[in-house]
Amino acid sequence: MAKKAIITGITGQDGAYLGEFLLQKGYKVYGLYRRVSSPSFWRLKELQIYKNPNLYLLECDITDSISVFNTIKKIMPDEIYNLAAQSFVQTSFEQPLSTMQINSLSVTYMLESIRLINPHIRFYQASTSEMFGKTDDEPQHEQTPFAPRSPYGISKLCAHWTSINYYESYNIFACSGILFNHESPLRGKEFVTRKITDGVAKIALNQLECIELGNIYAKRDWGFAKEYVEGMWKMLQTSMPDTFILSTGKAYSVKEFVTLAFEYVNIPIVWENEGLNEVAINTKNNRICVRISPKYYRPAEIDSLVGDYSKAEKILGWNPSCSLQDLCKLMMEADLQRNRHKL
């Protein structure tokens, strides 16, 4: 009989790729989305899984414990992948309480429902490298102490410990994937890589003159989301629940990513000035194409994150293969196409 998996956050980047992956594996996929006036399934449509007969889309707000309990009881899944979250760090500073409700409390609702309904359901928690925060360890590994720097990081750390606690207390198979940044053509435009590829595509097509960014010296370990969802699945197929880092082991600055994106469209740029006055100039037309705006600075920043994925490689046989250059190319191609056709 086909396995049944619940994915919370099916409308998000990872939810869509994981849905595609599990359907290919023969699962019945129950994708949960919250009620909004106009729900958007564009990612599921782009991956051409929206009409798949084994994909069932159900309304469920994960901040509503009754909705969570009843949904799990109705579906009786084998596995639950909890990907839904208020996932934007910047917003977590402006909406700390709802971030906590969505990212932390909901995990207790899910694990408590599993405990009461069927403790054999396997649970994946989407933990994050943001939990490492201000750390001196480089690269970060599973034993690196946590020191989160944002309400988002704090909320995710609470959820992380909750899932560990449900294993230790009730033997529930709860795994946490500490995933470093992963991007794709399906990334939301609020995140820096997609903001850059969308902006550079528009500049190349003469639809925009300049992008505004915040801290371009921040470094992140950026992988390809499609490869990371396979790691989530692998975590739930092991004999013992555990915590695993998924990352590439390489860190690049936002500035380096900007340079890669402009190189892809053959726009030569030079950087001038420093701090808030730093700009990139398009040397083809001598116009400023990147500016710095304090609007995008965070109250507390994480300067650099880079992960050691050797445990996942050893135990799960998982490793990343997409370079940042290839990732940037994939995202640029998609954004050129979308902006050319105003999609």
As annotated, the active-site residues are 128, 130, 152
> What letter does residue 181 receive in the DSSP assignment?
P
Both tokens assigned to 312: 């996942």
- Least Å distance, CB 334 to ligand GDD, is 17
Kindly state the helix (H) or strand (E) to which residue 212 belongs, with its residue range. Answer: strand 211-213
Residue 192 engages ligand GDD in binding (rule: CB under 6 A): yes
C-beta closer to ligand GDD: residue 8 or 87 = 87
Q: How far apart are CA 30 and CA 23, in angstroms?
A: 10
Among 4, 5, 7, 14, binds ligand NAP (CB under 6 A): 14
Q: How far is the CB of 68 from ligand NAP (least distance, A)?
A: 9
Question: Nearer to ligand NAP by C-beta: 203 or 245?
Answer: 245
For residue 4, the minimal CB distance to ligand GDD (Å) is: 27
Restricting to residues 105-164, name those near ligand GDD by CB under 6 A. 128-130
74, containing H or E segment: helix 65-75
Q: How far is CA 156 from CA 6, 68, 127, 176, in A?
A: 20, 19, 6, 11
| Upstream peptide bond of 96 is cis (omega within 30 degrees of 0) | no
- Please report whether residue 13 would count as binding ligand NAP according to CB under 6 A: yes
Give the three-class secondary structure for 330.
helix
User: CB atoms < 10 A from the CB of 169, how many?
Assistant: 10
DSSP track, 6-72: EEETTTSHHHHHHHHHHHHTT-EEEEEE---SS---HHHHHTT-TT-TTEEEEE--TT-HHHHHHHH
Do 148 and 215 touch, CB atoms closer than 8 A? Answer: no
The option from ligand GDD, ligand NAP, none interacting with 50 (CB < 5 to 8 A, set by class) reads none
At 47, give phi and psi (nearest 5°).
-85, 0
| Contact residue for ligand GDD among 11, 99, 181, 247 (CB under 6 A) | 181
Closest-approach residue to ligand NAP (CB): 12
Nearest partner of 304 among 148, 139, 152, judged by Cα: 139
Answer yes or no whether residue 232 interacts with ligand NAP by CB under 6 A. no
Return the number of the residue (4 or 149) whose C-beta is nearest ligand GDD.
Answer: 149
Q: Among ligand NAP, ligand GDD, none, what binds residue 214 when CB lies within 5 to 8 Å by partner kind?
A: ligand GDD
Tell me if 34 contacts ligand NAP by CB under 6 A.
Answer: yes
Among 12, 139, 153, 307, binds ligand NAP (CB under 6 A): 12
CA 292 – CA 274 distance, rounded (Å): 10
Tokens of 167: 């294993």
How many other C-beta atoms are found inside a 10 Å radius of the C-beta of residue 78?
18
Q: Which stretch binds ligand NAP (CB under 6 A): 13-21, 71-79, 135-143, 278-286?
A: 13-21
Instruction: Give the span between the Cα atoms of 291 and 281, in whole angstroms.
Output: 9
| Closest CB 321 distance from ligand NAP, rounded Å | 17
Q: Give which of ligand GDD, ligand NAP, none residue 160 binds (C-beta under 5 to 8 Å, depending on kind).
A: none
Minimum CB distance to ligand GDD, residue 140 (Å)? 10
- Residue 181, interface with ligand NAP (CB under 6 A)? yes
Interaction between residue 82 and ligand GDD (CB under 6 A) = no
Which does residue 71 touch among ligand NAP, ligand GDD, none (CB within 5 to 8 A, set by kind)? none
295-308 core/surface letters (b: 16 or more CB in 10 A; e: else): eeeeeebbebbbbb
Cα(210)–Cα(277) distance, integer angstroms:
14
The minimum distance between CB 232 and ligand GDD, in angstroms, equals 14
Any contact of residue 79 with ligand NAP (CB under 6 A)? no
**Site residues for ligand NAP per CB under 6 A:** 8-9, 11-15, 33-34, 36, 61-63, 83-87, 102, 126, 128, 179, 181-182, 188
**Site residues for ligand GDD per CB under 6 A:** 87, 89-90, 128-130, 180-181, 190-192, 195, 213-216, 218, 220, 254, 296, 298, 301, 305
